[in-house]
Structure 1
């Protein structure tokens, strides 16, 4: 979800207000996705690299995330959304970690749409952590090396039990993965949309889905 900062700067607003507008775009997109029949939606809210941003901006983002968790849980329950967080969110501190776990528990009964939010997430770190877990399992005799295949390795990732993404949408004109779901995105389709995230809405999602539906997916097989 790119473009919050540029959206604010173009309007002469503080960056924090750009992130606030971005949070409102998340709400619109979740509602639109559910209406379009999307059953799994993952949003990249805060990357592991975002910790390098100015302290003031990180603090504003953290406060916004805390506010979102408090204010949106009831709406997520109403929308039938199940919230799950992937990433090293303990870095946000014990208060935030408790709020995250509370929100996950409150929405556990949602069946209309699964909303995954990537917080303090980085795909390379996820893969390295999974690899270390595999190594420990082999060393402790809990896993035979010859039993390790793609499905087994996937069970060590933070997305264990979740389907791989069919479609990845990148906003604001950026055209790169930026350390997002590197393992899981092996056969995902990509749509790049030149719209800043705070301006994103149902019409943009509908256009991306329409583009996706026109494609023939062969998963590496010959035509």
Structure 2
């Protein structure tokens, strides 16, 4: 009875949220945190937590398709993950290899024309994972229906540092002048950049930090951020809709702020123009009369 009531309440809340959501962010990025804690809470091995988290990932893809999200970036393996115990790393590599291959062969991926790409320093990954990345990317390379980016061996600071070094080398080689360095020169040297800037970052597991994730594409675009307490395997459609609602509320607030600033600027400019006109009228009688030929030229130009 209690489970039925909880399920009914969640279904009702989901319908309410769906009515409140009007549209969706174009690009959502997710920090999938809490897999290991979820497993420990249930008395299971960490590997079970990652398996459960992989199921949530598949559901999120469906929710994105339903709402019209165009791009999803998943933080699957950070550079800090290389510091984890070897056994955990190997299991993650096994899971990544399995899921990348599975996604590349999935009918819905091809039906929805999903393009799969890896972003990060993938050369640091085991060869079997690199092969799976190449397989998934090659099988979906021509698709443009939805962009799925998998961040592997990814670290935001390392990415920006690599881009800066690339620019410095180009300048040293004489291929690029320091004064000509622009945003495109930086972006072209990032790890296979996402298609577009990030609109919304979601982090599960209770921590309120973005953990070095997509600093160029998220912080630069002032992306909205949604932190929630459920561990990644527990992340639900209600949580996803709440995140999208947070994004929309923030966007509405930004639009109001921009409109208020524009109105204030117009009013200020209007005051300046009125004052200038009063000053001009005050001194108009003291200004010399224009020569007759100039006046005539002005009249003929009308």
- State the TM-score bracket (shorter-chain normalisation): over 0.9
Distance across 2 between alignment mates of 1:146 and 1:161: 26
Shift of 1:159: 4.3
Moved over 4 A (4+): none
Corresponding residue of 2:148: 115
Q: Number of residue pairs matched? A: 222
State whether structure 2 residue 245 is matched by structure 1 residue 210. Answer: yes
1:69 and 2:104 matched: no
Q: Which runs of 5+ in 2 are unaligned?
A: 1-31, 262-302
2:119 to 82, 86, 92: 86
Q: Indicate the residue corresponding to 1:7 in structure 2.
A: 38
Partner deviation per Cα, 1:157-205 (whole Å, 9 max, x = no partner)? 1243621101111111111111111222221111111111011233321
Q: CA offsets, 1:73-111, max 9 Å, x none?
A: 122223321101011122222222122111101012332
Using the size of structure 2 for normalisation, the TM-score is: 0.70
Cα distance in 2 for partners of 1:45, 1:26 equals: 10
- Kindly provide the CA deviation profile for residues 38-74 of structure 1, in whole angstroms up to 9, marking residues without a partner as x: 0011010010001111111111111111111122212
Higher-Rg member (1/2): 2
Partners of 1:9 and 1:3 in 2: how far apart? 10
Tell which deviates more after alignment, 31-40 or 145-154.
Answer: 145-154
Cα distance in 1 for partners of 2:211, 2:103 equals: 27
Alpha-carbon RMSD:
1.7
Q: Is the 8 A contact 1:51 1:58 kept in 2?
A: yes
Once the two structures are overlaid, the 10-residue window that deviates more, 103-112 or 26-35, is 103-112
C-alpha contact (below 8 Å) 1:31/1:79 kept by paired residues: no
Q: What is the Cα deviation at residue 22 of structure 1?
A: 0.8
Structure 1 position 54 matched with structure 2 position 85 = yes
Give per-residue Cα distances to partners, 1:3-51, cap 9 Å, x unaligned: 1001100110100010011111111111111211100110100100011
SS of residue paired to 2:68 = coil
Partner of 1:195: 230
Unaligned ranges ≥5, structure 1: none
Determine which structure has greater relative contact order: mean sequence separation of CA pairs < 8 Å that are 6+ residues apart, divided by chain length. Answer: 1
* Contact 1:171/1:193 (<8 A) preserved: yes
Query: Within 2, Cα distance between the matches of 1:103 and 1:61?
Result: 17
Write the distance in 2 (CA, Å) between the matches of 1:89 and 1:201: 30
Mapped to 1, the partners of 2:234 and 2:140 lie a distance apart of 27
1:41 aligns with 2:72: yes
Q: With structure 1 as the length reference, what TM-score do the two structures score? A: 0.93
